[in-house]
Amino acid sequence: MEKKKQVIVYVDGYNFYYGLKKGGARWKRHYWLDVVKFFERMMLPDQELVEVNYYSAVPLDDQQAADNQDVLFSANLLNRLLSVATSPSSYLLTAI
């Protein structure tokens, strides 16, 4: 049996979230997505997901949004395949 190809996924969380949001009400249920499971389902039979790196900005001007994001990350980080890197959203805006 051949060894499976190892796959690492890199997610731009900002665009991922707003892509879901732009999808309308039918996509809203995915806001609380199991990120690793989502990408595991995309693997081909000869592939193995070994890591998901999720990059995002922390909303600084909306405490409820920041709290929601924190809950999402906390739940998803229970999966050892996920790592999350964040930076303040104001930093991202001034760096562009």
Predicted TM-score of the model (pTM): 0.80
The H or E element spanning position 64 is helix 63-76
* pLDDT tens, N- to C-terminus, the chain (96 residues): 789 999 999 999 888 888 877 877 777 666 678 999 999 999 999 999 999 999 998 888 889 888 888 888 998 999 999 999 988 755 444 444
Query: Under DSSP, is residue 85 helix (H, G, I), strand (E, B) or coil?
Result: strand
54: nearest Cα among 89, 16, 13: 13
Contacts of 76 (CB under 8 A, 6+ apart): 34, 35, 36, 54, 82, 84
